[in-house]
Structure 1
């Protein structure tokens, strides 16, 4: 199997930057980083020397987990 075939079979995952994460979650920058330290929030991926991004699907999954917790309390 060629490298191209392997790559084309993978699902594309969108990376989003902090302003979009804040918009989607409604959380502050400080709270996001506090929760990352506490292993409560998905960790970002380093995309450059001074830049990070999050996998959008991981953020959506995190939101879905919070929604499910409403019914488990």
Structure 2
């Protein structure tokens, strides 16, 4: 089996987001509804996010924290 390192364009699922963000699925979907988190890309019945978009949200939150 060949495993590659994640790239900015790597697509991640909700379980990975829960691990990365340490938040529940429900809170992530609430943030999407409130437009504070990017909408997923739909692949069939699956929802996926670009890792680069997730990291951009984390960077934005860090910048907002540092500005206050």
Displacement of 1:12: 7.0
Aligned to 2:25: 29
TM-score by length of 2: 0.83
Displacement of 1:71: 1.4
* Higher CA-based Rg: 1
Aligned to 2:57: 62
| Whole-Å separation in 2 of the counterparts to 1:13 and 1:71 | 27
Displacement of 1:13: 1.2
Pairing partner for 1:39 from 35, 39, 42 = 35
Unaligned segments of structure 1, at least 5 residues: 1-10
- Runs of 4+ residues deviating >3 angstroms: none
Q: Measured at CA, do residues 12 and 31 of structure 1 come closer, stay the same or move farther in structure 2, by a change above 3 Å?
A: closer
| Whole-Å separation in 1 of the counterparts to 2:9 and 2:21 | 18
Pairing partner for 2:67 from 34, 52, 72 = 72
TM-score by length of 1: 0.78
CA RMSD of aligned residues (A): 1.5
